[in-house]
Structure 1
Amino acid sequence: MSASSPDHAAATQSHKLRFTLGDWDNHASVRTSRHTYQLPEDLQCQLQTRFWFPPSFLPYLSHPAIEAAGSKVMHRLAANHLVHFLDYTTLLEHRIVNRAVETIIHGELPTHIPQHMKTAALQLYTDEGYHALFSHQLAEQIADLHGFTGRPVMPLRITRLSGQIARAPQTKRPLTWFLIGFVSETIIARELLDVCRETLVSSVNDMLRDHLADEARHSRFFSEVFHYLWLTLNSRQRAFAARTLLETLTIFFEVDEKWLHQSLRRAGIGDSAIREILDNLGNEQACRQRARSGATATLAALDKAGFFTHPNNRKLFAKAGLIDA
């Protein structure tokens, strides 16, 4: 399918009013937020009823060995998980997402890029730089408070995504970057929505809610651009995209076992309990369940773009347990 095909013309016409971040000047956190994200003076009081990170995202905290260790250990583990998440976010925004955005801005993708799409991408690029900044600043405060050292640790997900990009053929690398960015932005919006439903330390809550407000717009933008791009790809490009998307989704829901093992051990959790925790989180069924529930926004965007009307794509994703056969 060429860029001048009827499908492409229809995509251009139907999307001519899209590819924007709305009233960006009055909504983007980098332009409007008054939050400082400083740890509150009544932090210890807040921690009696609030969390550093949602317990629902840290199922290992319910392990008997951790519950027996008491609230101080549980808070330390949650704080360490938050710092790791924030360090990961800083790396993700800089090394993965903004590089994906550059493929739109600089016309690296195999299709014509409308000017208003480029403008929105430049705004999104600015947002992501700010997300990296406030993630880093908050991580520094929490790490100093708890005495966490040896950070940032390179997250497994960043390593795996970087390897995926390195293995992609040079001619398909920009497309690979974009697809990874699309998966990342649609997943993180859902993650942040779930996180913000919990009662968190006030500065953490402020930061995550500002982040969520931006990422909701980013998710919509990336979904629209994916739809536009999908209609322009030829059959070989589509087959490559399907395999790339599945690999990327798998990577996003893997457990960083090495980091988690270290976090638990430093908190004084015994080896047998650590093995049980890692076995429960890292088995294939658990990974599939996380992917299926965590990737709903991504899968919905694929469905809306007509991705699953292709039998091979439906079969591929059903085999991976992401959709019903």
Structure 2
Amino acid sequence: MCGIVGLFTGCSALSYCPRRTLAPAGSAPAGQGPPRDADEADEAVKVVEAGEVSYTSPFARWDERAAVRRSPRRVLDDSPSGTARYFSPDLVPVARHRLVTGLRPELFDEILVQHLYRYLDFTAQLETLVVNRTVLGIATGSVGVGLPEEMRFDAYKIYCDEAYHALFSVDLMRQVRDASGIRPLLPEQPYFLRRLAEIQQSLTPENRPLAELLFVTVSETLISASLADLPADDTVLPAVRESIRDHAADEGRHHAYFATFLRYLWAALDPAGRRTAALLVPRLITAFLQPDRDAIRAELLEYGLARDDAEQVLAEVYDEATVAAHTRATAKRTLHYFTALDVLDDPQAKEEFHVHGLL
């Protein structure tokens, strides 16, 4: 899952090519040919885009390429030195707002640390509380979708990947806390859980499992190239850059897997189920991509910003046009997978996509 894309709304470095997240250090920039580690994932995505319901595993070399198999524990230096930062300022637009920069100089670095905490906490909780619950159901065959044996076996590999992403995210968060002396300012409940619960509560009990299946599929295919941008920013501490590079490489393969899984899921649904799914998808996409304004507001107030000023920062950084453009651009590849399934042939579903600003 990359599903932290909502955290980067409005950043100046954001681009939207999913394949860039597969690029290892030193690989060719976007537009100069596919990165070497993209081969398996590319083949799987080509099958999906060709309209075939078949499976080409993106995990053929998982034992060699998965972060849990090949990557060492990422360890912070004793202390950041010189211009080294905990996160890329280009990806944290709130930190550059004039009302924030006018508070006190040292606050800039603290906001970067808090954004790193938010990303790491989001990753750990999404992977463990939602994604791996669904992936385990896929692996054991309990989700009601008929899949090839190889595809179910690959779900166990995703389960291992996601658990490791959670582990190294919590590990890095603890290291940053100890090294920086800055305590995390995190909400009691991640906003994606609150939003998913609200959507599920609006559904009949029999449709709630479908909402979670779709939520995981959406989150795993909403790949943001910001995960490739950060490892390229050499002002960020190496342990942070390398952890996010590890995450991005794994998530490229997960993207390919869930793009294929969606077709199997669709084939398993009856017409009523497909219609329910088509109406749900826009809500799930926007729920996942909307920035967590409540958490950011609480953080700004903690720094001593007046409430009116905090509201102004939120309104100017996350203005409607910026958020809408970010949502459409980030969701473009995911939308392609759903439109290939003819979801827009249903006028009501098409209207839902318009209402949520996705068309």
TM bin, normalised by shorter chain, reads 0.7 to 0.9
Alignment deviations for residues 73-121 of structure 1 (CA, whole Å, 9 cap, x no partner): 1110110111122112111001111122133223233431221111011
Q: Which amino acid is the alignment partner of residue 269 of structure 2?
A: L
Shift of 1:71: 4.5
User: In the alignment, does 2:74 pair up with 1:37?
Assistant: yes
Q: What are the within-5 Å matches in structure 2 for residues 206-245 of structure 1?
A: 206-245=242-281
Gaps spanning 5+ residues in structure 1: where? 1-9
User: In the alignment, does 2:89 pair up with 1:65?
Assistant: no
Shift of 1:208: 0.2
Question: Which of 147, 153, 156 in structure 1 is aligned with 2:188?
Answer: 153
CA gap of 1:280–1:189, structure 2 versus 1, over 3 A, is: closer
Structure 2: how far apart are the matches of 1:178 and 1:162?
Answer: 13
Q: Which amino acid is the alignment partner of residue 125 of structure 2?
A: L
User: In the alignment, does 2:198 pair up with 1:163?
Assistant: yes
Structure 2: how far apart are the matches of 1:22 and 1:60?
Answer: 41
- Indicate the residue corresponding to 1:274 in structure 2: 310
Q: What are the within-5 Å matches in structure 2 for residues 1-325 of structure 1?
A: 14-34=52-72, 36-41=73-78, 43-45=80-82, 48=83, 50-69=84-103, 71-144=105-178, 145-148=180-183, 153-199=188-234, 200-281=236-317, 283-308=319-344, 310-323=346-359
Alignment deviations for residues 25-49 of structure 1 (CA, whole Å, 9 cap, x no partner): 1111001112x2211235132xx1x
CA gap of 1:73–1:276, structure 2 versus 1, over 3 A, is: same
Structure 1: how far apart are the matches of 2:90 and 2:166?
Answer: 24
Shift of 1:154: 1.9
Q: Which has the higher contact order (CA 8 A, sep 6+)?
A: 2
Tell me if the contact between 2:55 and 2:151 (Cα under 8 Å) persists in the aligned partners: no
Structure 2: how far apart are the matches of 1:165 and 1:94?
Answer: 19
Alignment deviations for residues 202-251 of structure 1 (CA, whole Å, 9 cap, x no partner): 11100000000000000110011102322342221111111221111111
Structure 2: how far apart are the matches of 1:198 and 1:319?
Answer: 37
Larger helix fraction of residues = 1
- Indicate the residue corresponding to 1:5 in structure 2: none
Structure 1: how far apart are the matches of 2:326 and 2:170?
Answer: 27
Shift of 1:283: 4.8
> More deviation in 135-144 or 197-206?
197-206
Gaps spanning 5+ residues in structure 2: where? 1-46
> More deviation in 123-132 or 251-260?
251-260
CA gap of 1:174–1:116, structure 2 versus 1, over 3 A, is: farther
Tell me if the contact between 1:89 and 1:135 (Cα under 8 Å) persists in the aligned partners: yes
> More deviation in 109-118 or 130-139?
109-118
Structure 1: how far apart are the matches of 2:120 and 2:270?
Answer: 38
Q: Which amino acid is the alignment partner of residue 26 of structure 1?
A: E
Shift of 1:15: 4.4
Structure 2: how far apart are the matches of 1:150 and 1:17?
Answer: 43
> More deviation in 263-272 or 216-225?
263-272
Structure 1: how far apart are the matches of 2:225 and 2:350?
Answer: 22
Q: Which amino acid is the alignment partner of residue 272 of structure 2?
A: R
Structure 1: how far apart are the matches of 2:184 and 2:354?
Answer: 42
Q: Which amino acid is the alignment partner of residue 41 of structure 1?
A: D
Q: Which amino acid is the alignment partner of residue 132 of structure 2?
A: N
CA gap of 1:42–1:146, structure 2 versus 1, over 3 A, is: closer
Q: Calculate percent identity across the aligned residue pairs.
A: 28
Q: Which amino acid is the alignment partner of residue 195 of structure 2?
A: R
State how many pairs are aligned. 309
- TM (normalized to structure 2)? 0.77
Alignment deviations for residues 234-270 of structure 1 (CA, whole Å, 9 cap, x no partner): 2211111112211111111223222212212222334
Structure 2: how far apart are the matches of 1:298 and 1:277?
Answer: 30
